[in-house]
Amino acid sequence: SPALELKSLTFNTNGTTAAADIAAAKVYYTGTSSTYTATTQFGSTLSNPTSTHTITGGQALSVGTNYFWLAYDISSYAPIGNRIDAECTN
């Protein structure tokens, strides 16, 4: 049977002081490895994500647990002490 394919991930920034502090959002895929590497990007970089944002792509899933990692680029204008957080909602 064909592999399952992940087509999108939706996140929100609940817990973040100001979504404007996030310059870009990226998702990386490490297959069944739980070790983070920024080698295989899922979808495209999303500039200036809003409080709810979706990254779309196409990734065939391996059998077992698959690992995806959300990474944010922080704006150089973000005030020290502000918090960045995220929730995967879908």
Query: pLDDT, tens digit, for every residue of 12-24?
Result: 999 999 999 999 9
pLDDT exceeds 80 at position 2: no
Q: What is the pLDDT of residue 1?
A: 64
Helix (H) or strand (E) holding 83: none
pTM score of the predicted model: 0.90
pLDDT 10s digits, 20-56? 999 999 999 999 999 999 999 999 999 999 889 999 9
Give CA angle at 47 (25, 32), nearest 5°: 25
